[in-house]
A and B are shown apart, each in its own frame.
Chain A
């Protein structure tokens, strides 16, 4: 039974196993590989996408649960108003090192800034707590979020 949803603003129909995580559906079947696999258990945040504007972990989200919903991935998020500012802040601060976690970091940061124009350090800690970075770019991430918040103010 094909599943239809909005992906990055376009209608997307996929005929895949209904329990297939959204992560593998968009990577293997749509070919968008900016969303990363890191743990498969919603522990690391590398696979963060937005479903109806909320950050979710695509690695544990069955594709049939998003039928009729709207999914945004990193590829389109950085073209949105807030996403673009966040990306520019990331480049300005030279945040990424290996970069593998950064799609997820940017997705979580964008979700935070859409809702909270002036995040405090503790807002940042809680919004970003689900995103692991093994290169330890956390302080640069914090700086870039604050910089983006200023530019959005």
Chain B
């Protein structure tokens, strides 16, 4: 009994040693920055006390909570709307496209697959700016060239909140769809064909097959990627910032997610203590958010 116990302990120790390199790496690049941000948030590290900062307790948090004013609340609401809208559209479109890719007898399947993944291969920054000048620009953009050809006057797509929101969503879909399509495409291929055959024999239509076979079968496979995408969408910064608020190129739309709001109201102060406090609070909000999202599957199982 005792021998088995020491053996087990020895085994645990060895496994830890084996995974030590990756554990250390995770600690260095994930855990350490969070802890360090937490530490900085308790200090007065700013331009005037850059290398000689002191711990000042929770004073930064008192200031930081003031950032979470009505402007922040509407940014939070918009972030939720943004996440939900993007997720629904992403799942529906990716599901349809993946289904089309899996149509029996489809020719040039690999060619379509490659084409669909192209947006992913481009750096996001480049894609976003290409969309901004190539599509939405009121002087040179493709959309306005079409508008002019059709006899309408040019529109400044990014100048008002609603159309800017739609434009941002389109660009975000363009950037995010390849990932979703790949995942769903892979998931669809793993569904056992015999289920469909028996369903067909029982006279089930496409809708019924989708609802009772496909979706339950692929759900566990795509669930993790959905959670990941929810997070990346929730903390999306580049798309909205680069399209509407880039320094020197603001367009007039006032759509703020919590991150762009925090950037404009805290990070530009060069006050690292204060900005870290804001980051820590956003971090807590994200943790709560992930807790809420993860709660549901557990209840079901």
A binds B: no
Residues of B within 8 A of A (CB): none
